[in-house]
Chain A
């Protein structure tokens, strides 16, 4: 996967292996259905004040959930527009319209937080440090979740770097 800016100045990911494209499509799965325990992290309480928390549950959290759903819908449209070369095994290209950058950053963060909470991914694992007690096993849902969280983190970093007006050819093998 290679990141750069398109001629229009939009964040663009190209040479996306079909395997990675498949993982990208998991971004828009409904986290509340897919990761019920993990999604508890998405709507945390605003503090300890009971009155504020009750009001938050009734009025703010439904708004936030609608906000996340709306951002996910925008991302889903961009994913549907992802282009593939000729042939089933050819790489994909994804261009993110600049007006959807926030939607992508939020949606990527939603899925990263839901996965990390659902599978209780620790800080050591998230930082890519492995120990003999925590081998990376991609045959498990947990191992796959770690790959997704790190892939989506890479994408977030790329998109944010483009927002600063700084771009280099950031390549991920």
Chain B
């Protein structure tokens, strides 16, 4: 079963296993894209569940997805980015990972 990711903030979270190359490479971004079927309340709930955000922060990102079509919700190493995207897909959110612009 997919467990929620308990992060304190969406900033660059580093684990002891972070390699030097990950520190030097441009980070990976986790982006959530708009899907008109997903309820706004549901998207906010998922953000709170996956990232441990406050309701206000979750709603801010949810509104960004809703009005601008996408929101960057996390940046950091590739492995963690993939894990976060998997968690978000587990809740049926449209999420992708992409390289941050250099």
Contact = CB atoms under 8 A, between A and B. Distances in A.
Interface residues of B, number: 23
B96 A106 contact: no
Given A64-B86, A67-B2, A47 B96 contact: yes
B97 interface: yes
Contacts of A160: 39, 41-42, 45
A168 interface: no
Contact of B38 (A47, A67, A109, A163): A109
A79 to B, nearest CB: 20
Contacts of A44: 89, 94
A145 B85 CA distance: 29
Interface string B4-48: 000000000000000000000000000000011111011001000
A48 B98 contact: yes
B65 to A, nearest CB: 14
B69 interface: no
B64 interface: no
Interface SS, B side? mixed
B37 A112 contact: yes
A52 B2 CA distance: 19
Interface stretch (A6-14, A90-98, A149-157): A149-157
Contacts of B38: 109, 113
Interface in A43-61: 43-49, 52, 60
Interface in A33-81: 42-49, 52, 60, 63-64, 67, 70
Nearest to B49: A102
A148 interface: no
B37 A126 contact: yes
B36 A126 contact: yes
A123 interface: yes
Contact of B90 (A49, A106, A153, A163): A106
Contacts of B36: 122-123, 126
A47 B97 contact: yes
5 contacts: A44-B94, A47-B85, A64-B90, A70-B1, A113-B92
Interface of B: 1-2, 35-39, 41-42, 45, 55, 82, 85-86, 89-92, 94-98
Interface of A: 42-49, 52, 60, 63-64, 67, 70, 105-106, 109-110, 112-113, 116, 121-123, 126, 149, 153, 156-157, 160-161, 163-164
